Chains A and B, each alone.
Chain A
Amino acid sequence: DAGVIQSPRHEVTEMGQEVTLRCKPISGHDYLFWYRQTMMRGLELLIYFNNNVPIDDSGMPEDRFSAKMPNASFSTLKIQPSEPRDSAVYFCASSLYGAEKLFFGSGTQLSVL
């Protein structure tokens, strides 16, 4: 398997623009997680899905953030409108067993100018 695939690897955008991050989990994994990593706050869970259903979105910063999982092989994280404080590395991870044994993608480095 190719592992968790995220795109794009890097995204530079201007404040106010819409940003869409994409993730393809490992085939057969029932859980998908979105994390954000910054120097100040470390790795923070934003939202996770089980069998394509959002289970806990309490980590989503505000209404500007939304995530979808239309099928078992694809998920998106959207920020609209983006702000400079959203600059971070966003990781997608998938697993068979919930929060244990997460397999992370390589991340999307987002810079909002």
Chain B
Amino acid sequence: GQQLNQSPQSMFIQEGEDVSMNCTSSSIFNTWLWYKQEPGEGPVLLIALYKAGELTSNGRLTAQFGITRKDSFLNISASIPSDVGIYFCAGVYGGSQGNLIFGKGTKLSVKP
């Protein structure tokens, strides 16, 4: 079945540093999504990508839809303490509008 490999599993960085995480798969996806989850809450959508090669920004966050449609990455520039949380990639595949799978997440810790 479909599977997303997200890396790294966790990151410990200093405030002000840039962060990069990625998601890969052996399967092709129609849409890539990046979510952030904070403790005790559900995931919140950060960025949606719809076309191969697309590069989209949301404030300090930048994400790209890989050319092969099998990967995506998320960058966070100049991290701040409130960036702490778990970041999930997710991919939409196939024809059904419910076909969405999530990566296992990257846990980000930011030291002030």
Contact = CB atoms under 8 A, between A and B. Distances in A.
A102 interface: yes
Contact of A104 (B44, B48, B98, B104): B44
A107 B96 CA distance: 25
Interface of A: 4, 31, 33, 42-43, 45, 48, 50, 55-56, 91, 93, 97-107
Contact of B98 (A31, A43, A101): A31
Given A106-B42, A107-B42, A101 B48 contact: yes
Interface residues of B, number: 21
Given A97-B97, A100-B31, 17 more contacts: A31-B97, A31-B98, A42-B103, A43-B88, A43-B102, A50-B97, A91-B42, A99-B97, A101-B33, A101-B45, A101-B48, A102-B43, A102-B45, A102-B100, A104-B43, A104-B44, A106-B42
Given A106-B42, A107-B42, A100 B33 contact: yes
Interface string B97-112: 1111111110000000
B42 A100 contact: no
Interface in B64-112: 88, 92, 96-105
Interface of B: 31, 33, 40-45, 48, 88, 92, 96-105
Given A31-B97, A99-B97, A105 B42 contact: yes
18 contacts: A42-B102, A42-B104, A43-B43, A50-B97, A55-B98, A56-B98, A98-B97, A99-B98, A99-B99, A100-B31, A100-B48, A100-B92, A101-B45, A101-B48, A104-B42, A104-B43, A106-B40, A107-B42
A98 B100 CA distance: 9
Given A43-B102, A55-B98, A56-B98, A99 B92 contact: yes
Interface of chain A, helix or strand or loop or mixed?
A: strand
B45 A106 contact: no
A33 B45 CA distance: 15
Nearest to B45: A101
**Nearest 3 CB-CB pairs, A to B?**
A98-B97, A104-B42, A99-B100
